[in-house]
Amino acid sequence: MAGKVFFSVTMTLDGYIAPVDGGAMQAMNEGRTHAPEYKQWMSQWAELQGWAMGQAFFRENLKMGSGGKTGPDNDALKAVFDRTGATVLGKRMFDGGEGGWPEEAPFHTPVFVLTHEVREPWERPGGTVFHFVNDGIESALEQARKAAGDRDVRIGGGATTILQYLNAGLVDEFSVTLRPVLFGAGDALFGGIDHARIKLEPVSSVATESGTHLTYRVRDLAAS
């Protein structure tokens, strides 16, 4: 039995899942981590994602040693990892991670990267293999489903990639960790959403000191 297609992200109260780039990724790729644009981006990113970095599962998965917090926040992170059999990533998100992930990338499953390039698979220690797909989102999802077996496929981001799958009616469920942070601008999760096609059905809501974990089932009205 095929698993679900889902995404799980952290979002600001005003709807952004990443800060404005402003040249930060170029600075990182060039090793200019002292650049103001990179420092600004990292400061905002830490505000958004800092809750996860202190969790025990996050530390364990990135080989950062023992310790860290346990509880509902940690459980939410581990649940996403445990259900994921394969991941789909946009090229921009892959490019950002390629320079920032450790040698043992944190996926430990096949990852399918949406790109226009032709590139051989890139295998990393710990079970992560990046496959590069240049013939569309449906092809990437089909390959990810086969690789995942009866586990779920995660649409890992970024916002543009998630939106493509949502607007194509290909997402079954999603979870958002809503953080008490305001960016004012950035990568908007639902900017350009086909709201006439999508209906959301609440599944669960868990509030913690870090934020609120919201889960929704996605109903595709075009398929009704």
Q: Which of 42-51, 55-64, 152-161 has the lowest mean pLDDT?
A: 55-64
Buried b (16+ CB within 10 A) or exposed e, 103-122: eebebbbbbbbbbeeeeeee
Beta-bridge partner residues of 110: 129
| pLDDT tens digits for range 196-218 | 999 999 999 999 999 999 999 99
pLDDT of residue 30: 83
**pLDDT tens digits, residue range 19-45?**
999 998 888 878 888 999 999 999 999
pLDDT tier for residue 1 given thresholds of 50, 70 and 90? low
Length of the chain: 224
What domains can be seen in the chain, in order of their start residue? Answer: 5-19+82-223 (3.40.430.10)
pTM: 0.93
